[in-house]
């Protein structure tokens, strides 16, 4: 009994004078990504000498200034949303030649668009995701509403992935929404407004795209990208002119239906630790008679862990649509005709250089800068059209602080 009291006493003394570890907050605050934000600015400068508005001749000078913001929100591990909104400001010298009533106003046009996406990962099968999208675009002479549904599934070992997406767009080619004109009407060239060339003013487009992705090895992935598209309705552009051999003039007229079948193949590979090669080839066929081949090659060079430069080249060739004739060469006996050089036979080359800089300092602020990308490309067609394109994207992450148990998720 005495021994027990001695042990208890020693224990009491040692606990009074012993030193414990400093008190650590068992619930340290951690940053939880709340939203991924992309701020985008793009600029497009074009010139050429085959404007379809003037029947295949005339200036194609065009500038587009395009700010855009994309926000992706992952509300939890199963649901995610994204919103994409932007405005294109379009300045076109050839638009003056449509000859609106107030001609100077036609030089600058605006297009606003909004897209909302929702993705849901299946609770029982985390390798499957369903998605839905709604889209709207408003422009002075073109309005569009559309939507899409998608399905994504990857194998358990992530080596194979399949995705399919079905899109539908419902477009209205009448002019006047921005100007408060009523009733809305198709815009024909000024000298051709004596006649109602088209009864239809709507266009429907349906696209079905598939992606089959296969991991080849630790450094290489292959994707097959087939698709099929169908368009119906007014496929002509009502303010495009066509001049005929006999000296007459009409509005462009294209068939009311069009099938398109593209097949793309992509191969991405790491070469060593610094080089990423992305190769892409596409074969395209449609029932307008256009057959096109596209090949592109990007080589990403990781100069530093945070800095990557990517030069790229793209080659494109297409045959002419069977309805295309150059300026003044169309046959008035034909049912369908166009002098739009976008549907002519040509080859094109695009050279681009992209720089990507990732952030070094990961601070504890509410909004972190993640990385910035800048891309310049020069595009040239053999018919003389050329364009300069610049895009820049700032990637930001917005965080919220949340208290999480220090034993939750690791050390």
Partner 1 sequence: MPELLDLCRTCTRMISLGMFLIAIAQISCHTVKPYQRAYLNDAAMQTGKRPIEKLSSNAHNYREGASGGGKAKGGGGCGCN
> Please, which of residues 220-249 interact with partner 1 by CB under 8 A?
221-229, 231, 237
Longest dimension (CA), the chain: 128
Task: Determine, following the binding rule CB under 8 A, whether residue 94 of this chain makes contact with partner 1.
Answer: no
51, 300, 327, 339: which one binds partner 1 (CB under 8 A): 300
Asked if 268 is part of the footprint of partner 1 (rule: CB under 8 A), the reply reads yes
Range in contact with partner 1 (rule: CB under 8 A) among 97-105, 124-132, 181-189, 266-274: 266-274
Phi, psi of 68 (to 5 degrees): -155, 150
Q: Determine if 171 is a binding residue for partner 1 (CB under 8 A).
A: yes
Q: Is 207 in the site for partner 1 (CB under 8 A)?
A: yes
Among 81, 284, 369, 394, binds partner 1 (CB under 8 A): 284
Interaction between residue 152 and partner 1 (CB under 8 A) = no
CA dihedral (164, 42, 93, 386) in degrees, to 10, reads: -80
**Tokens for 223?**
């994707």
Residue 100 beta carbon to partner 1: minimum distance, rounded to whole angstroms? 16
Run of H or E residues at 163: strand 160-172
Question: Which one among 50, 133, 203, 250 touches partner 1, defined by CB under 8 A?
Answer: 203
**Does residue 260 touch partner 1 according to CB under 8 A?**
yes
Which residues between 367 and 406 bind partner 1 (CB under 8 A)? 373, 375, 377, 379, 381, 385, 387, 389-391, 393
Which helix (H) or strand (E) segment is 263 a member of? strand 257-271
- Closest distance between partner 1 and the C-beta of residue 243, in Å? 21
Question: Which of 197/270 has CB closer to partner 1?
Answer: 270
Least separation in angstroms between residue 401's CB and partner 1 is 26
Residue 353 interacting with partner 1 (CB under 8 A): no
Question: 145 or 197, CB closer to partner 1?
Answer: 145
Residue 231's Cβ-side half-sphere holds a number of Cα atoms within 13 Å equal to 16
**Taking a C-beta distance cutoff of 8 angstroms, is the pair 391, 40 a contact?**
yes
Please, which residue, 138 or 192, has the CB nearer to partner 1? Answer: 138
- CA distance linking residue 282 with residue 260, whole number of Å: 13
Taking the C-alpha atoms of residue 50 and residue 342, their distance in angstroms, rounded to an integer, is 9
By the rule CB under 8 A, 127 interacts with partner 1:
no
First vs last C-alpha separation in the chain: 46
Among candidate residues 232, 353, 255, 358, the one with its CA nearest the CA of residue 307: 358
Q: Which two tokens stand for residue 103?
A: 């001609």
Least distance in Å: CB of 11 to partner 1? 48
Binding string to partner 1 for residues 16 to 55, with x set by CB under 8 A, is what? Answer: ----------------------x-x-x-x-----------
Give the whole-angstrom CA distance, residue 314 versus residue 280: 9
Q: How far apart are CA 334 and CA 285, in angstroms?
A: 23
Taking the C-alpha atoms of residue 370 and residue 306, their distance in angstroms, rounded to an integer, is: 10
66-85 residues in contact with partner 1 (CB under 8 A) are 66, 70
Using CB under 8 A as the binding rule, whether residue 349 contacts partner 1 is answered as no
How many chain residues interact with partner 1 (CB under 8 A)? 95
133, 339, 343, 397: which one binds partner 1 (CB under 8 A)? 343
DSSP string, 319-381: PPPTTB--TT-B-TT-SSBB--GGGS-EEEEEEEEEEEEE-S---SSSEEEEEEEEEEEEEEE
Per CB under 8 A, the list member of 49, 121, 154, 215 interacting with partner 1 is 215
């Amino acid at each position: 009994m005495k021994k027990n009291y001695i042990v208890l006493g020693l224990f009491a003394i040692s606990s009074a004078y012993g030193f414990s570890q400093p008190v650590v907050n068992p619930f340290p605050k951690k940053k939880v990504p709340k939203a991924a934000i992309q701020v985008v600015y793009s600029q497009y400068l074009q010139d050429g000498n085959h404007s379809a508005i003037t029947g295949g001749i005339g200036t194609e000078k065009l500038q587009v200034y395009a700010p855009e913001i994309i926000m992706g929100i992952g509300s939890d591990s199963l649901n995610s949303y994204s919103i994409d909104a932007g405005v294109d400001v379009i300045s076109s010298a050839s638009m003056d030649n449509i000859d609106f009533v107030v001609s100077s106003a036609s030089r600058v046009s605006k297009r606003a668009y909004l897209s909302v996406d929702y993705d849901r990962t299946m609770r029982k099968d985390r390798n499957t995701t369903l998605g839905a999208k709604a889209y709207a675009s408003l422009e002075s002479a073109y309005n569009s509403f559309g939507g899409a549904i998608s399905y994504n599934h990857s194998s358990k070992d992530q080596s194979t992935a399949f995705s399919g997406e079905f899109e539908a767009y419902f477009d209205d080619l009448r002019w006047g929404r921005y100007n408060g004109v009523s009733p809305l009407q198709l815009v024909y060239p000024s000298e051709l407004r004596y006649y109602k060339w088209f009864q239809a003013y709507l266009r429907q487009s349906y696209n079905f795209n598939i992606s089959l992705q296969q991991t080849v090895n630790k450094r290489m992935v292959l994707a097959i990208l087939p698709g099929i598209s169908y368009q119906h309705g007014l496929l002509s552009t009502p303010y495009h002119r066509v001049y005929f051999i006999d000296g007459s003039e009409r509005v462009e007229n294209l068939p009311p239906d069009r099938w398109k079948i593209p097949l793309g193949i992509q191969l991405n590979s790491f070469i060593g630790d610094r080089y990423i090669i992305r190769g892409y080839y596409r074969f395209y066929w449609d029932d307008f008679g256009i057959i096109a081949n596209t090949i592109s090659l990007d080589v990403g060079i990781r100069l530093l862990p945070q800095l990557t430069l990517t030069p790229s080249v793209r080659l494109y060739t297409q045959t002419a649509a069977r309805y295309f004739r150059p300026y003044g060469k169309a046959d008035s006996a034909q049912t369908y005709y166009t002098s739009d050089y976008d549907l002519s036979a040509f080859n094109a080359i695009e050279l681009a250089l992209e720089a990507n800089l990732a952030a070094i300092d990961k601070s504890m602020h509410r909004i972190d800068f993640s990385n910035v990308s800048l891309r310049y490309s020069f595009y040239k067609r053999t018919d003389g059209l050329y364009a300069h394109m610049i895009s820049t994207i700032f990637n930001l992450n917005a965080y919220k602080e949340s208290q999480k148990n220090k034993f939750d998720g690791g050390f």
